[in-house]
Amino acid sequence: MIGGYLGAGKTTLLNRLLRDPGGRRLGVIVNDFGAIGIDAELLAAASDTGVVNLPNGCVCCTLGGDLFETLVALRDAEVPPDQIVIEASGVADPAVAAAWGTSAGFTPGGVIVLAAGNTIWQQVRDKYVGGEVQRQLAGADVVLVTKGDLCDGDDLKSADALLREMAPRALATLQSTLVDADFVFGIRPGDVPDVLPAALHRYMTWSWAGGVVSAERLGRIVRNLPAGIVRMKGIASVDSGWSVSVQVVGDDVSIERLAEIGGETRLVAIARRGSKLQSLTDECDAAARPV
């Protein structure tokens, strides 16, 4: 379930999931196709049943009346989706709609609420919409901060402090650019522990940019990451002259050669709060030489 107030970036996240679903066949339920704004290159064929079939096997359908009936129609399709994503209206409470995930034949997923870092302060205090925005945040399993490119460091710190207060049960508060399909579909309501709110925001982010790295040392680094890192991805320029993609999910590590040559190495990671990441930065610095 993806929610968030109008303009928070739900369409951007949905398009990213549809473009790279991580090998999954997705079913996406939206209130209206005009509201989702599916990128043109993702469109394939629309039917008169309110369904759009996408080239990668995913399907999008309009919410034609009852949500449960729409869910059942996807579940019972000849080729059912592996995962179903519901985009809640910008003025709806996503936690209410997510409750349908407990119905027979479904496994409930997490509630992801997007919050625009540059406007969330004004929205939660708005006398007309503030109550709805606060309800959306309060029901989130994960809050994703969007519009980071429109914020400075102080804005993001202020937004993070506000969201910790507004979303006390949230598993994490992360910048949306750091998440992908594996992260989104790996969230379950049971992930949220019943402990003090200060401990619930238990993830932090790490990033590193540098020059050319030794392919051998890069392999050693990503296969021996510090304890606590749950996700890493990026593009590395290696000493063979090529770029490689880096993908780490738990114990699964993938390093694959890309078509482009050279460039800057850029790595990002999500880790449990308190992880000792300085050693990772030091290793990357030691492994790199200027481009």
Task: Report residue 45 as tokens.
Answer: 């064929």
User: What are the residues whose beta carbons fall under 8 Å from the beta carbon of 208, sequence distance 6 or more?
Assistant: 265, 266, 267, 268, 280, 281, 284
For the cut 90, the answer to whether the pLDDT of residue 52 exceeds it is no
Lowest mean pLDDT among 39-53, 148-162, 224-238, 269-283: 39-53
What single DSSP character describes residue 61?
A: E
Q: Which amino acid is at 126?
A: D
Angular region, 263: left φ>0, alpha ψ -120 to 50, beta rest:
left
Q: Residue 284 — φ and ψ, nearest 5°?
A: -65, -40
Lowest mean pLDDT among 35-39, 213-217, 281-285: 35-39
Neighbours of 289 (CB within 10 A): 11
Instruction: Please tell me the predicted confidence (pLDDT) of residue 31.
Output: 64
Q: What is the dihedral of CA 46, 50, 55, 59, to 10 degrees?
A: 180
In total, the chain counts a number of residues equal to 291
Instruction: Please tell me the predicted confidence (pLDDT) of residue 64.
Output: 58
User: What number is the average pLDDT over the span 49-69?
Assistant: 69
Report H helices in 77-226. Answer: 94-98, 120-125, 130-138, 153-166, 181-185, 215-223
Which domains are delineated in the chain?
Answer: 2-201 (3.40.50.300), 205-289 (3.30.1220.10)
In terms of Cα–Cα distance, which of 206, 262, 266, 208 is closest to 239?
262
Pairwise CA distance, residues 24 & 236, whole Å: 26
Instruction: Please tell me the predicted confidence (pLDDT) of residue 174.
Output: 66
In terms of Cα–Cα distance, which of 96, 95, 137 is closest to 115?
137
| Max Cα distance, the chain (Å) | 59
The pTM assigned to this predicted structure is 0.62
What mean pLDDT is reported for the chain? 77
